Amino acid sequence: MKYLPGYLKLHEKGELTARIHELKRLLYECRLCARRCGVNRMAGETGYCGAGKDPCVASSCLHRGEEPVLTGGFGVGNIFMGRCNMKCVFCQNHSISQPDGNTASEWGVTAAKIAEELLLFEKQGCPTAGFVSPTHYAPQIFEALSLAAAKGFSLPVIYNTNGYDSMELLSLLDGLVDIYLPDFKYWSSEDASTYSDTPDYPGTAMESIREMYRQVGTLRIDASGTAAGGLIIRLLVLPGGIAGTKDVLRFIAGELGRGVFVSLMSQYYPAHNARNYPPLSRKLRPEEYMEAVEMLEELGLENGWVQDPVTSPDSYLPGIDFKL
């Protein structure tokens, strides 16, 4: 039997429109992420991330570089949202997340246009559709999803977030998101403040990921080998132990269990302003990554993926011309 995404269940019950309305209310005193800027985006005000009333899509494409259970051997239909609620000094997508000046005019779209993209992804054969950096545009994203669902869209939806979401937002996403794909970037508040301007990040990420796990549970994979629902946690190992990966792994194993899927990434590359922040100014050393792999094995976290620490920094670079 085909998996029925949560948003379709709400649509069939006639509850999806009301949920979208509740989400859009958060835009009047923006409380979508942990910063809770409180600006009235519906009146044209902008907060820390620079996002306004209308959604901004920086890229919409078939993406084959995600975890195998998400691509299904074909690719994820990914929609990359413009801007971000964090300011990571090493961001590989900084031209999207931290654009200079005003957002490029071609980024501005409507919910109806995003819905068209979702329907096209399904028509092309994508097994899943994902929103990358969705937090600050969550109401507009799920308005688009509602429009697509009304026209027959039925793919599992991936919410690919940096983990800096507000609990108020996540409570409204319960039943809307099929696959949560959060980062857990830092264990140390000091490092989170220095490198991403988010001193409250560790506590926020722990609380957010607990809630995501409560909503969707352990990753479920269908007969074709493609993810239908559940949680995958991404951990990017950083030079000098800055991410605190060992402590994060202990948190995952201790609070969520050994069955949680973990994507342990070695693809760090000193992009954006990283050259000004040693040791982020250098590539990750293979031995630093292998220490994290050893901890993964020691804790009995058997589900997920590891990378080759020698080849991954070059293999997973996005197609953006960085100034290094």
Per-residue pLDDT of the chain (324 residues; tens, 9 = 90+): 567 999 999 999 999 999 999 999 999 999 999 999 999 999 999 999 999 999 999 999 998 889 999 999 899 999 999 999 999 999 999 999 998 765 556 688 999 999 999 999 999 999 999 999 999 999 999 999 999 999 999 999 999 999 999 999 999 999 999 999 999 999 999 999 999 999 999 999 999 999 999 999 999 999 999 999 999 999 999 999 999 999 999 999 999 999 999 999 999 999 999 999 999 999 999 999 999 999 999 999 999 999 999 887 766 654 432 221
DSSP code of residue 256: I
* Residue range of the domain that includes 88: 6-47+55-315
Q: Is position 171 within any domain?
A: yes
Q: Is position 1 within any domain?
A: no
Q: Is position 86 within any domain?
A: yes
Count of domains for the chain = 1
Residue 317 confidence (pLDDT): 52
Residue 107 confidence (pLDDT): 83
Q: Is position 187 within any domain?
A: yes
Q: Is position 140 within any domain?
A: yes
For residue 166, the tally of other CB atoms under 10 A from its CB is: 22
Cα gap 91→86, rounded to integer Å: 10
Find out whether 173 and 224 touch, Cβ atoms under 8 Å. no
Per the listing, tokens 């494409």 go with: 61
Residue 65 confidence (pLDDT): 86
Picking from 217, 204, 237, the residue whose alpha carbon sits closest to that of residue 177 is: 217
| Residues comprising the chain, all counted | 324
Q: Is position 322 within any domain?
A: no
Residue 174 confidence (pLDDT): 98
Residue 1 confidence (pLDDT): 56
Residue 77 confidence (pLDDT): 96
Q: Is position 218 within any domain?
A: yes
CATH number for position 271: 3.20.20.70
pTM equals 0.95
Q: Is position 321 within any domain?
A: no
| Residue 65 backbone dihedrals phi, psi, to 5 degrees | -90, 10
Work out whether strand 261-265 and strand 227-236 pair parallel, antiparallel, or are unpaired.
parallel
Helices assigned H by DSSP within the chain: 6-13, 16-25, 68-71, 94-97, 111-124, 138-150, 167-173, 189-196, 201-216, 245-251, 286-298, 312-315
